[in-house]
Structure 1
Amino acid sequence: MTWTMPAEWEPHERAWMAWPSADYTLGERADEAWGTWAAVANAIVAFEPVTMIVPAHLKDVADRFLDPAVDTVEGALDDGWYRDIGPTFVLGADGDAALGAVNWQFNGWGAQDWANWEHDQHASLIATGASGADAIDSPLVNEGGGIHTDGEGTFLVTRTVQLDPGRNPDLTEADVEAELARTLGARKVIWLPRGLTRDSDRFGTRGHVDIVAAFTRPGRVLLHDQQDPAHPDYEVTRQIRETLEAATDAQGRRLEVVSLPAPTVLRDDEGWVDYSYVNHYVANGGVVLCAFDDPNDAVARDILAAEYPGREIVQVDARPLFARGGGIHCITQQQPRA
């Protein structure tokens, strides 16, 4: 079977999410975490079906927060970042109607000492089984937030994730590209040097691409644009822009890079923020976009409305998500319509 990963703007069967349960995510304000995960699910379910995986002991809690239209299934989890612990769904190429689910190896974002993955290393099997997808097992340690595609075989990745010694210590770029080709139909992999500063610190992912850059159509990429020279991501995003502007996609096209200004706030109580509007979810007929109570919320909304014409833009306060290590894209996983 030949498989290909569709673009995120292609039609979806449903969205998958996982209810947060880890102490390091819930913190002292568990209701804030649960309320934010639910706000994202409740926004998406207005556009397409949503299935939330919920540990048995938290079922009553989830029912209290979730819109009744959100389906729930029981499953053992360590935490709620289903983009990373869930499968990456693919479709059979050449018109084949088959649905596949790539089950990556998950080891807590590179075996980080604060992470738990006893259950999360198997959590992709929940959606794989429930969706009826053909399981595609991969030896690659990878997360869904570490890849982004244009749906035509071009993929964005970062060296700090795919070649992380804590993930894939013995693999080369060529090894990673070959596995992405086998499982996802990759024909061109664009290697970005790194991710954002906060996401590269101790409690980050070591540089996921889905907070930095995202295709909105073939040949066109949104870039997180930190415009304040005081923030270290000013230099990071300059380097990434140079890489993207020098790259060509699987069709041989030069990429058009669209700046998506970062929020104006630079720091929180923990240091430099990595607040990013790039980390959004594209639904059937809508886009669920991060908000930060920031003047650039409206700027981002207008840019996304232009990039996704005909889709309704809904914004959800994502500050509680980013305080816990991620954004809206990080907690969602699309299942394409076969």
Structure 2
Amino acid sequence: MTKIKVERMSSFNEVIFNNSPKKTGYSFPAEWAKHEATWLSWPHKEASWPGKIETIYAPYCEFIKIVSEGEKVRININDEETKAFAISELRKAGADLGQIEFYFNQSNDAWCRDHGPAFLLNEAGDKKVIVDWDYNAWGGKYPPYDLDDVIPTKIAEHFNLPVYHPEVIMEGGSVEFNGAGTILTTTACLLNENRNPQLTKEQIEHYLLEFYGAEQVLWLGDGIVGDDTDGHIDDITRFVNEDTVLTVVESNPLDENYLLLQENLEALKAMRLLNGKALNIVELPMPSPVIHEDTRLPASYANFYIANAAVVVPTFRDVNDKKALEIIQGVFPDRKVVGVDSTDIIWGLGSFHCLSQQEPAIKKITDL
């Protein structure tokens, strides 16, 4: 494994990352690009699902079963005892264990989208690197997070991949990619002083562009009510192809989410891609409020995961489940869209996209 040092000039306004991923021809692929695998960190932290963790394993393993039909699923696991439990639960779900691999990378929590590795590919698509962003559990809310913070580098060491260390806080759920040079994110999250208070908006953009290999950053405002991540983009707006987004809207003007989602919708309408095109915007409904122990949970159909063979969508035993699945199927004609009940999982304040991180496939010599 090669640890890549980032060289910086003394003044950030003139900063040059001479050997950043972008400078060396690497970029972060869109989620719909072919995967080699999906990475997960097996849930074990009872405090993330207080009083309910035993209820999440059935839908979690159903998610794994569906994803593994089209790619490997690689799971960070704490110890042999947890591995045995995981295998038992996966067997109950009927998952193909031949498609599932376990790696003894200890974790603090299960949210692999945010602490897992960011895999980038070179322009030829035949080489892969990892970016290991710093991680502080959403602004230091849920310590400890020391084990989660080092998982990307441990994975890079195992697979002998080069790894970049930007040394700034970033979470995978805070950024969304169209695979053609555009990143979508929110000011509520990335400009929150609990992440990188030493950086300006322009400096954060610079990191995003250099370490994800992109050309522009588009900014939305707030995330949905109940989102303890301070507004991750993957709960509100998702790219489904280079110029199309699905974005959630609330139909009830009295709901807490109504105004902020309308503001985000108007902002999307004003945005332009690198080619000057306006975004093609497809509206997605919100479920009725999901409440548990007097807490409004961040339930959203936008937290779907795009796997090779399927798109897995969280559902909430709600009247809008069917409509949301139909809309999402309409923008993914080449994949089956599958709803999996997330009513218990969302008590952990995240769903299937939050739990997973894709590893892109590289082109083999025979493919070139």
Report if TM-score (shorter chain) is over 0.5: yes
- Of 341, 348, 358, the match for 1:324: 348
- Of 183, 205, 230, the match for 1:206: 230
Structure having the higher strand fraction is: 1
Quick check: 2:209–2:217 contact (8 Å CA) kept in 1? no
- Matched AA of 1:299: K
C-alpha deviations, 1:24-61, integer Å up to 9, x for none? Answer: 12422332133332222122111211011111041221
Compute the RMSD of aligned alpha carbons: 1.5
Matched, 1:21 2:76: no
Deviates more, 1:280-289 or 1:30-39: 30-39
- Matched AA of 2:122: G
Identity %: 28
| TM superposition shift of 1:116 | 2.2
Residue 12 of structure 2 aligns with which residue?
Answer: none
- Matched AA of 1:76: Q
Task: Name the CA distance, whole Å, in 2 between partners of 1:62 and 1:272.
Answer: 30
List structure 1 runs of 4+ shifted beyond 6 angstroms. Answer: none
Residue 210 of structure 2 aligns with which residue?
Answer: 182
- Of 34, 52, 56, the match for 1:11: 34
Alpha carbons of structure 1 residues 28 and 273: separation in structure 2 relative to 1, 3 Å: closer
Residue 193 of structure 1 aligns with which residue?
Answer: 221
Alignment of 1:210-229 (within 5 A): 210-229=234-253
| TM superposition shift of 1:256 | 1.6
| TM superposition shift of 1:131 | 4.2
| TM superposition shift of 1:228 | 1.3
| TM superposition shift of 1:166 | 1.0
- Matched AA of 1:51: R
Quick check: 1:110–1:167 contact (8 Å CA) kept in 2? yes
Residue 155 of structure 2 aligns with which residue?
Answer: 127
Task: Name the CA distance, whole Å, in 1 between partners of 2:121 and 2:143.
Answer: 32
Where in structure 1 are there 5+ consecutive unaligned residues?
none
Task: Name the CA distance, whole Å, in 2 between partners of 1:46 and 1:31.
Answer: 25
Matched, 1:35 2:50: no
C-alpha deviations, 1:178-216, integer Å up to 9, x for none? Answer: 1111111121101111211110xxxx1111111110001
Alpha carbons of structure 1 residues 295 and 130: separation in structure 2 relative to 1, 3 Å: farther
| TM superposition shift of 1:111 | 0.9
Residue 92 of structure 1 aligns with which residue?
Answer: 122
Alignment of 1:126-275 (within 5 A): 126-199=154-227, 204-265=228-289, 267-275=291-299
Quick check: 1:3–1:182 contact (8 Å CA) kept in 2? no
Task: Name the CA distance, whole Å, in 2 between partners of 1:96 and 1:9.
Answer: 15
Where in structure 2 are there 5+ consecutive unaligned residues?
1-23, 363-368
Task: Name the CA distance, whole Å, in 2 between partners of 1:163 and 1:82.
Answer: 22
Residue 104 of structure 2 aligns with which residue?
Answer: 74
| TM superposition shift of 1:87 | 1.2
C-alpha deviations, 1:257-279, integer Å up to 9, x for none? Answer: 11000113454433333211111
- Of 27, 47, 54, the match for 2:77: 54
Quick check: 2:297–2:349 contact (8 Å CA) kept in 1? no
Quick check: 1:15–1:50 contact (8 Å CA) kept in 2? yes
Task: Name the CA distance, whole Å, in 1 between partners of 2:77 and 2:88.
Answer: 13
- Matched AA of 2:104: E
Residue 131 of structure 2 aligns with which residue?
Answer: 102
Residue 17 of structure 2 aligns with which residue?
Answer: none
C-alpha deviations, 1:265-296, integer Å up to 9, x for none? Answer: 45443333321111111111211111111121
Task: Name the CA distance, whole Å, in 2 between partners of 1:84 and 1:127.
Answer: 15
- Matched AA of 2:207: E
Quick check: 1:177–1:186 contact (8 Å CA) kept in 2? no
Residue 292 of structure 1 aligns with which residue?
Answer: 316
Task: Name the CA distance, whole Å, in 1 between partners of 2:60 and 2:158.
Answer: 21
Quick check: 2:69–2:309 contact (8 Å CA) kept in 1? no
Task: Name the CA distance, whole Å, in 1 between partners of 2:140 and 2:130.
Answer: 23
Task: Name the CA distance, whole Å, in 2 between partners of 1:154 and 1:270.
Answer: 38
Calculate the TM-score normalised by the size of structure 1: 0.94
Quick check: 2:252–2:258 contact (8 Å CA) kept in 1? yes
Q: Higher Cα Rg: structure 1 or 2?
A: 2
Alpha carbons of structure 1 residues 131 and 228: separation in structure 2 relative to 1, 3 Å: farther
Alpha carbons of structure 1 residues 230 and 132: separation in structure 2 relative to 1, 3 Å: farther
Per the alignment, in what secondary structure is the counterpart of residue 344 of structure 2? helix
